[in-house]
Every structure is written in structure tokens, then in C-alpha cells.
Amino acid sequence: GAVVSQHPSWVICKSGTSVKIECRSLDFQATTMFWYRQFPKQSLMLMATSNEGSKATYEQGVEKDKFLINHASLTLSTLTVTSAHPEDSSFYICSARQGNDSPLHFGNGTRLTVT
């Protein structure tokens, strides 16, 4: 149980375009999901906390207008990278948990390359 599915697994886009990444909890409901970004040879950095039915909470230094998060249902959160630039190229990973005393489960990540 507790599977988190992320799609797509990789995407290449041109500078200036937008890319949407989906994160789904397959067998449980998640009122909260988390989005992370990882640059090569670095750790995972929390970008934002996605809350079902309300606005996402962004970490300091993360532009909310650039990284749009929508948590429309208890099983789906989306991250849209708007007007992507090469410096947005990174590995994006989402996670979700079943409850406050449960571990976080992670999707397989999305490797974004902006050309």
C-alpha cells in the first residue's frame, strides 16, 4: 500500500513554455502533499506544501507565480512550472502521507530539462 505515482518521469521543453507535473496517491487519501526539488549531487529541498482545497505554502525563496501548485482532490496535486528557463532544469519529486503518524511516501520523480 501507500503508493505515490508521479507523471511524467521525464520531460524536455523549450524555454518559455510551461510544464505540468502530476502527483497522485493511488491507494490512500492525502490532505497534504509535498513538492521537492533536487539539483545534481545535492539533497532534496522542500519547495512547497500542497494543501487540498486551499492555497499551497511555499518555502522561502520559491516563487509561487513560477511554480503553481494545485491540490484539487484528496488524491491529486499538480505542479506547473510556468515560463520555464534552463535554470529550472532539475529533478522534481512529490510525496504524500496517509496521516500525521505515518511515513512520507515519494513518487519516482520527474526529470525536467529546459532547452
41: region left, alpha or beta (phi > 0 left; psi from -120 to 50 alpha): left
For 8, other C-beta atoms within 10 Å of its C-beta total 12
The residue from 7, 11, 13, 38 that contacts another protein (CB under 8 A) is 38
- Using rule CB under 8 A, residue 69 touches another protein: no
> Per-residue x/- marks for another protein, 39-58, CB under 8 A?
---xxxxx--x---------
For 75, other C-beta atoms within 10 Å of its C-beta total 19
CB 16 to another protein: min, Å: 26
- 31, 24, 21: which is closest to 51 by C-alpha? 31
Give the binding range for another protein (CB under 8 A) out of 12-20, 34-42, 65-73, 77-85: 34-42
* Site of interaction with another protein (CB under 8 A): 34, 36, 38, 42-46, 49, 91, 93, 95, 100-106, 108-109, 111
